[in-house]
Chain A
């Protein structure tokens, strides 16, 4: 039996978040080719047209929009109720959530409301026989992997960000239909959003979206030297991260911190510059696909977990690396 998958599309501004595009590809994989299982993407909020159009061209069978300003802010209870109601209406067997903070927050709530199992943080998955799905998820901060077999008739699946490719564009685009207004019954009222603080300096993508991250540590010797990393990040289209030593010293805001007490990231490429590799940092980046370490101390623990290491003076190596990347990328 093929899965009937409902994939929830989160947006930032006018576009779907990268993790939602990844989820759209996974939905197709779970449902099998068109005609076997069915993939429905759902978008909630206002001004959905551009995002709905993008998703319609990514191999889904149909797109449902729920144009309702109540969904312009994220309230878990409200979103969960809406998604569960649509899944019930469509008799979906899988609800797929992107690897975002909101996606993670939704999983448990939807599962209760929809009477389903829930498995989150998925880095790989394969549909098996008899409707079973087997998923692989990193646990213990990436120090181990767990395989979970799901036999429940309904399941909420949450993905890890950057673990899946963005699907190829397909044509013709799937039909887009506006859903009838949702009556959701009484729900707990959420708080009032009083403000938003942008976390990044305006350079490059957000840490959680980035496929390449350039991260700096104490070896940079001072906040002014982060400009070396900014240039490297620009050459790669990378986001900038930092070790705890850097954020504790106030060289960069706390939102830059990667590690146990900061963000966990899993980009395709992680370049650690002047970071010694304390365990507190390693648990936040160990599941990156390729790790590069640049450090003047050849015995730094970061070289034990890196794939490629350069033991040398970062103040010489980083500018040379930026120049070389600009050269090969022709920019």
Chain B
């Protein structure tokens, strides 16, 4: 089975978020970029499927600037991906998610695949458009958000479950297809040191921005970031003083009705 997994460098979840000087985007100064969250779950799921179908291979593909994109591809290789493709993003380009989807789809169509796994959204911008957009570009079906995904070797099909409002839909489907994964129903592995060292020496295939533009047409983002701000700091709860549970309940209900106005 040929598997592709799309990943993206995102700020370490422990990063203290700050707007840049212009107030339009995240200040990336000093940010540590990592493979985590949805993407880490997606890599794990690709590796589990690889292990369940002998002879399978996993290629990790990422679009982004140097050096962070190359670094997370090496993280994916260290975890067990066999090959990696880096779609180079020129410095100064601010990609919107649709532009990223177009760039990634160009890299994906270079090799035939049975299954493409991708997080249902990125941990940072939470757009969630890349998986379905790549699927549309490649002319294959997509499923998401998927919370369970198994290979049935006897039937030669995938069994998956996707979350819908009110429950789970169970689906049997054949590749090639795109699966957009919910985060971490699997338990992502950590890389062994010798594999980290080996991953440093692995050649990463590069796709230049010029090639992408020639392939999918010039990139004209239709959107522009105009502001990035933090929510007003939560100052801590208004603590309700009470002598009896009944008194606490009465005060809370009064505050919810008269002050917060959120009691139905």
Interface set of A (CB-CB < 8 Å, partner B): 12, 17, 74-77, 80, 100-102, 104-109, 111-113, 116-121, 134, 137-153, 155, 188-200, 206, 208-209, 211-212, 236-237, 254-255, 260-261, 268-269, 289-293, 298, 303-313, 316-317, 319-321, 323-325, 328
Across the interface, do B142 and A77 meet the contact criterion of CB distance under 8 Å?
yes
- A-facing residues in B71-130 (Cβ within 8 Å): 96-98, 101, 120-121, 123-130
A252 to chain B, nearest CB (A): 15
Contact of B145 with A by CB under 8 A: yes
Contact of B22 with A by CB under 8 A: no
Contact of B201 with A by CB under 8 A: no
Q: List 12 A-B contacts (CB under 8 A).
A: A74-B169, A108-B101, A108-B136, A109-B142, A117-B223, A134-B226, A140-B123, A191-B157, A198-B167, A236-B263, A292-B252, A312-B245
Chain B residues with CB under 8 Å of A198's CB are 166-167
Chain B residues with CB under 8 Å of A298's CB are 239
B35 to chain A, nearest CB (A): 16
B250 touches which of A75, A137, A197, A324 (Cβ 8 Å): A324
Across the interface, do A148 and B224 meet the contact criterion of CB distance under 8 Å?
yes
Inter-chain contact total with CB atoms closer than 8 Å: 285
> Scoring B residues 169 to 191 as 1 if CB is less than 8 Å from chain A, else 0, what string do you get?
11111100100100111000000
Q: How far is the CA of A317 from the CA of B166 in the complex (A)?
A: 30
Chain B residues with CB under 8 Å of A152's CB are 222-223
Contact of B248 with A by CB under 8 A: yes
Chain A residues with CB under 8 Å of B159's CB are 194
Main secondary structure of the interface of A (DSSP, over half): mixed
A146, A199, A303, A323 — most chain B CB neighbours (10 Å): A146
Across the interface, do A261 and B136 meet the contact criterion of CB distance under 8 Å?
no
Across the interface, do B165 and A290 meet the contact criterion of CB distance under 8 Å?
no
Q: How far is the CA of A222 from the CA of B110 in the complex (A)?
A: 53
Q: How far is the CA of A240 from the CA of B71 in the complex (A)?
A: 41
Contact of B215 with A by CB under 8 A: no
Q: How far is the CA of A188 from the CA of B177 in the complex (A)?
A: 9
Across the interface, do A118 and B98 meet the contact criterion of CB distance under 8 Å?
yes
Chain B residues with CB under 8 Å of A148's CB are 223-226
Assuming the A-B contacts A146-B125, A261-B184, are A308 and B165 also in contact, with contact meaning beta carbons closer than 8 angstroms in the complex? no
Contact of B230 with A by CB under 8 A: yes
Assuming the A-B contacts A107-B129, A144-B17, are A194 and B142 also in contact, with contact meaning beta carbons closer than 8 angstroms in the complex? no
Q: How far is the CA of A107 from the CA of B136 in the complex (A)?
A: 11
Across the interface, do B253 and A324 meet the contact criterion of CB distance under 8 Å?
yes
Q: How far is the CA of A188 from the CA of B176 in the complex (A)?
A: 10
Assuming the A-B contacts A188-B139, A199-B167, A269-B262, are A105 and B225 also in contact, with contact meaning beta carbons closer than 8 angstroms in the complex? no
A156 to chain B, nearest CB (A): 8
Q: How far is the CA of A116 from the CA of B99 in the complex (A)?
A: 11
A111 touches which of B98, B158, B163, B242 (Cβ 8 Å): B98
Across the interface, do A108 and B98 meet the contact criterion of CB distance under 8 Å?
yes
Across the interface, do A193 and B249 meet the contact criterion of CB distance under 8 Å?
no
Contact of B210 with A by CB under 8 A: no
Q: How far is the CA of A116 from the CA of B223 in the complex (A)?
A: 10
Interface set of B (CB-CB < 8 Å, partner A): 11, 17, 19, 26, 37, 96-98, 101, 120-121, 123-137, 139-145, 157-174, 177, 180, 183-185, 221-231, 234, 236-240, 242, 244-246, 248-250, 252-253, 255-257, 260, 262-264
A73 (CB) vs chain B CBs: closest residue: B169
A239 to chain B, nearest CB (A): 11
Chain A residues with CB under 8 Å of B160's CB are 191
A307 touches which of B19, B132, B169, B238 (Cβ 8 Å): B238
A150, A209, A293 — most chain B CB neighbours (10 Å): A150
A102 touches which of B164, B185, B231 (Cβ 8 Å): B164
Across the interface, do B249 and A121 meet the contact criterion of CB distance under 8 Å?
no
Chain B residues with CB under 8 Å of A134's CB are 226
Q: How far is the CA of A313 from the CA of B245 in the complex (A)?
A: 8
Q: How far is the CA of A114 from the CA of B198 in the complex (A)?
A: 44
Assuming the A-B contacts A269-B262, A304-B236, A316-B245, are A328 and B253 also in contact, with contact meaning beta carbons closer than 8 angstroms in the complex? yes
Chain A residues with CB under 8 Å of B234's CB are 304-305
Across the interface, do A121 and B126 meet the contact criterion of CB distance under 8 Å?
yes
Instruction: Known A-B contacts: A12-B166, A104-B145, A196-B167. Give 20 more (CB < 8 A).
Output: A76-B144, A80-B136, A108-B136, A116-B222, A121-B128, A144-B19, A144-B231, A147-B229, A153-B222, A191-B172, A192-B171, A261-B184, A269-B262, A269-B264, A303-B236, A304-B234, A307-B238, A307-B260, A325-B263, A328-B257
A176 to chain B, nearest CB (A): 24
Chain B residues with CB under 8 Å of A111's CB are 98, 129, 133
Q: How far is the CA of A316 from the CA of B243 in the complex (A)?
A: 12
B246 touches which of A144, A190, A211, A324 (Cβ 8 Å): A324
Q: How far is the CA of A194 from the CA of B129 in the complex (A)?
A: 26
Across the interface, do A101 and B170 meet the contact criterion of CB distance under 8 Å?
no
A148 (CB) vs chain B CBs: closest residue: B223
Chain A residues with CB under 8 Å of B246's CB are 320, 323-324
Across the interface, do B264 and A112 meet the contact criterion of CB distance under 8 Å?
no
Across the interface, do B236 and A12 meet the contact criterion of CB distance under 8 Å?
no
B166 touches which of A108, A206, A236 (Cβ 8 Å): A206
Assuming the A-B contacts A105-B180, A108-B128, A118-B98, are A12 and B224 also in contact, with contact meaning beta carbons closer than 8 angstroms in the complex? no
